Amino acid sequence: MSCDDKVQRRGVLTRASIAGALAGVLVMAAGSVVMPLLAAAGQGAKQSEPGPEFADQVRSVLLSNPEVVLEVFALLERQEKEKQTAGARAAVEAEAAALFQGADARKGNASAPVVAVEFFDYQCGYCKGALPELAAALSGRNDVAVVMKEFPILGSTSEAAARLALAVRAEHGDEAYLGFHNALLSHKGGLNEAALSILAGAAGYDYPALVARGRQDDITSIIDGNRRLAQALSISGTPAFVFRDGEVVPGMMAADRLTAAFDRLSASTAAAQ
């Protein structure tokens, strides 16, 4: 699950598009499913082209064999998933340098051979939930690095938090950034300017100075670049995880799923060496 107010609307659109495509797919399916049934019933064995009564015959067959409709929906869903998977792999390959070879901060072993990416928003509840899951998946291994991609999508406070964190990194380095990143995601309750100021002060930082630093062009460029990447990968929610073999996982991943993905990538990396 992910923080994205478009998810439910995307699901509705997908179902609507499937329903809209059903008629066309039924015609396609007629040759492989419906026509044999018609032939067996003696209603079209000699008919090579659909005639005027074809629609009535199809309707009759479907009413007698409703499982055909379920088969068509299953076929559509499978084809759509295959299309999305192929598109994601192509997009990841096209954006590989920006995803896996950029100068972003990394969790785990920064120089590890296995590299994954997380897009996140500091106000996203699922991102907060993913924090300990990722920590557990990385614990005890040094073969994985996870690139941190700030992707503020939940309003102006999300962007303010992202700019503040990136300012910490710009002024104090990666270790300080990762500590502040964890503090932001661990914060209980909503974020606002007062909360950001308190968190920055608790970490020993000059909040007004960091706010000013966060407005500078280099940090704007980082956020804009992450948004461009997300768009290229059709990512509209957080968290989202991207793996070097082309898998894009929208939504929170539990530690066992992350571990399985890291193991898969580690094995393929070792095999390629």
In terms of domains, do 63 and 134 share one?
no
- For the chain, how big is the Rg over CA atoms in Å? 25
Q: Read off the pLDDT of each residue in 220-229 and give the average, rounded to a whole number.
A: 98
Please state the domain count of the chain.
2
Structure tokens that stand for 162 in this block: 């992202």
Name the domain boundary from 46, 72, 94.
94
CATH of the domain at 129: 3.40.30.10
In our burial notation (b when 16+ CB lie closer than 10 A, e otherwise), range 9-40 reads: eeeeeeeeeeeeeeeebbeebbeebbbebbee
In terms of domains, do 156 and 265 share one?
yes
Contact 181, 165 (CB under 8 A): yes
Query: Is the residue at 1 inside a domain?
Result: no
What is the predicted pLDDT for the residue at 8? 38
pTM of the model: 0.75
Which residues constitute the domain of residue 124? 98-272
Span 83-98, pLDDT tens digits: 776 777 899 999 999 9
Neighbours of 117 (CB within 10 A): 27
In terms of domains, do 82 and 111 share one?
no
In terms of domains, do 82 and 152 share one?
no
Residues written for the chain? 273
Handedness of CA 170, 171, 176, 180 (dihedral sign): negative
Name the domain boundary from 52, 69, 94.
94
Contact 112, 244 (CB under 8 A): no
Predicted confidence (pLDDT) at residue 146 exceeds the cutoff of 80: yes
What's the pLDDT band for 263 if we cut at 50, 70, 90?
Answer: very high
In terms of domains, do 183 and 104 share one?
yes
